[in-house]
Amino acid sequence: MLKTFQKSAKIIESNLVIFLLLAIAAGVAFGWAFPAAAKGLKSYTTLTLFIMLYPMMIGLRIEDVGKAMMNIKLISLSMFVNFVISPLLAAGLAYLFLHSRPEFAVGLILTGTVPCAGMVAGWTGYAKGNVALALVIVALSLLVSIVMIPVWMPILAGVYVDIDAWGMFKEILLAVVVPLILGDLTRRAILRLWGQDGFKEFKPILPGVSMLGMYIIVFISMALEANNVLHNPQYFIIILIPLTFLYAILFSLAVGVARLMKFNYEDMIAFAYGTAGKNISIALALATIFFGPLTVLVLALKPIIQISFMAIFLRISGRLTRWFAPAPHHHENKTSEVFKTSEV
């Protein structure tokens, strides 16, 4: 039975873009055919958000934050890019491309403001980067985002829509911190009952469950906005253009900063993925709670661009080795294990 769940989760995880596109199409079709039933789906949003966020927190080790002191300069720079440069860049692109479409502008700003995702550790491992450092960036950026998202969103997105900063802070505590605490307790309980080997058997299921919740959220949001999306197919192009600029600039900036600061190759890879690989689940959760379905559409399309850029960066990473010195000590990269415990 466990093997069946593992295989199903792997299919769900490996075909992220395909399933997201299917969720968008199915949601629009359902909302168009059954508009009354579509409105009733909104009552399932809270449960679906929990299904999306709780599994990803089980595989996250917050205690890794304690390792940040190993490389304070790189960690500090990654936080600065994640929570100062990235939000401001997203806000600038939103003004340039989306100032007349506030719901889309908010989605782009939210994309630039959320922390990096657990999956960056897997991509870092594939590129032979410093996986341990990537895990520290993931854990620390999640904690910092609890404060920084409510700070930035009213400032940057408040020009487009009304945002209650204190209300957003409380909702983030509820939507992120509660699953985080429950996830940590669950991980410790599994380790106590079945040990490390038992947890390794269980871990591959987690990303698939989290992504299943994500697909349901996208389905519900598209069902609620079906007529608008059907009558405006140009929305997809309008959204994808600024997203492409955002990721192109973030990856280029990361490599440039790493070169300027003389990072070694392994640390540069962790830094690049840790500042450009944004957390899709948290962004979707916040968009669903605070904003409309059209904002959710931005986050639903985001993985198409994000994963494309992460794959392109992986392909060209070997050519960047001549610009960066190798690490003085070999970092052990448990790539497959890390990737199975992460999410998008």
- Domains of the chain: which residue ranges? 2-340
Helix (H, G, I), strand (E, B) or coil at 238: helix
DSSP-assigned letters across all residues of 30-53? HHHH-HHHHHHGGGGHHHHHHHHH
274 with 78: CB under 8 angstroms? Answer: yes
Amino acid (one-letter) located at 33? A
Per-residue burial over 299-316, b = 16 or more CB atoms within 10 Å of its CB, e = otherwise: bbbbbbbbbebbeebbee
| Cα–Cα dist 145/140, whole Å | 9
d(CA 5, CA 88): 41
Task: Mark residue 262 as left, alpha or beta (left: phi above 0; alpha: psi -120 to 50; beta: remaining).
Answer: left
pLDDT tens series, the chain, 344 aa: 777 888 888 898 888 889 999 999 999 999 999 999 998 998 888 888 888 888 888 877 776 666 656 788 899 999 999 999 999 999 999 999 999 999 999 999 999 999 998 789 889 999 999 988 998 898 899 989 999 999 999 999 999 999 988 888 988 888 788 888 999 899 999 999 988 888 888 888 888 888 899 999 999 999 999 999 999 999 999 999 999 999 999 999 999 999 999 999 999 999 999 999 999 889 998 999 899 899 999 999 999 999 999 999 999 998 998 888 787 654 444 444 444 444 45
Cα–Cα distance measured from residue 282 to residue 299, given in angstroms and rounded to the nearest whole number: 10
- pLDDT recorded at residue 322: 85
CATH classification number, 2-340, choose in 1.20.1530.20, 1.10.10.60, 2.40.50.40, 3.40.190.10? 1.20.1530.20
Q: Which residue type, as a one-letter code, is found at position 245? A: F
Q: For residue 80, how many C-alpha atoms fall within 13 Å in the half-sphere facing its CB?
A: 9
CA distance 49 to 60: 17
- Please state the separation of Cα 225 from the chain's center in Å: 23
Closest CA relative to residue 55, chosen from 214, 217, 168, 172: 214
Q: Which residue has the tokens 């209650």?
A: 164
The CB-side HSE value for 73 (13 A sphere, CA atoms) comes to 9
Return the CA Rg of the chain. 19
What pLDDT does residue 68 have?
A: 56
Q: Distance between CA 213 and CA 215 in Å, rounded?
A: 5
- Residue 116: phi and psi, rounded to 5, are -75, 165
**Predicted pLDDT of residue 340:** 42
Contacts of 132 (CB under 8 A, 6+ apart): 64, 67, 331, 332
The vertex-277 CA angle with 333 and 143, nearest 5°, equals 90
pLDDT of residue 65: 65
The packing angle between helices 131-152 and 102-113, to 10°, is 140
The Cα 26–Cα 18 span in angstroms is 12
Distance CA 91, CA 153 (A): 10
Q: What's the burial of 207, exposed, middle or buried (CB within 10 Å: 0-12/13-18/19+)?
A: buried
